[in-house]
A = this chain, B = another copy of it.
Amino acid sequence: MEKNIKTNLIYQGKVLDLYCDDVSCDNGLEAKREIIHHSGGAGVLLVNDKKEILLIKQYRYAYNEELLEIPAGKLEKNEDSYKAALRELEEETGYKTEKLKPLGKIYPTCGYSNEIIYLYLASDFIKTQTNFDPDENISKKWYKLNEVLELIDNGTIKDAKTIVAVYRYLYLKK
Contact = CB atoms under 8 A, between A and B. Distances in A.
Contact of A134 (B15, B27, B135): B27
A105 B32 CA distance: 28
A130 to B, nearest CB: 16
B23 A113 contact: no
A21 interface: yes
13 contacts: A2-B59, A10-B18, A14-B34, A15-B34, A16-B34, A18-B18, A36-B112, A60-B107, A63-B114, A104-B152, A104-B153, A104-B155, A167-B168
Contacts of A112: 15-16, 36, 38, 62
**Chain A contact residues (Cβ within 8 angstroms of B): what range?**
35 or more
A79 to B, nearest CB: 16
A126 interface: no
B13 A113 contact: no
Interface string A23-37: 101110101111110
- One complex includes copies of this chain to the number of 2
Interface string A66-88: 01010000100000000000000
Interface of A: 1-2, 10-11, 13-16, 18, 20-21, 23, 25-27, 29, 31-36, 38, 41, 59-63, 67, 69, 74, 104-117, 134-135, 137, 149, 152-153, 155, 158-161, 163-164, 167-168, 170-171
Q: Which 6 A-B pairs have the closest CB atoms?
A: A167-B167, A108-B108, A106-B160, A160-B160, A62-B114, A13-B34
Nearest to A33: B61
B11 A107 contact: no
A146 to B, nearest CB: 12
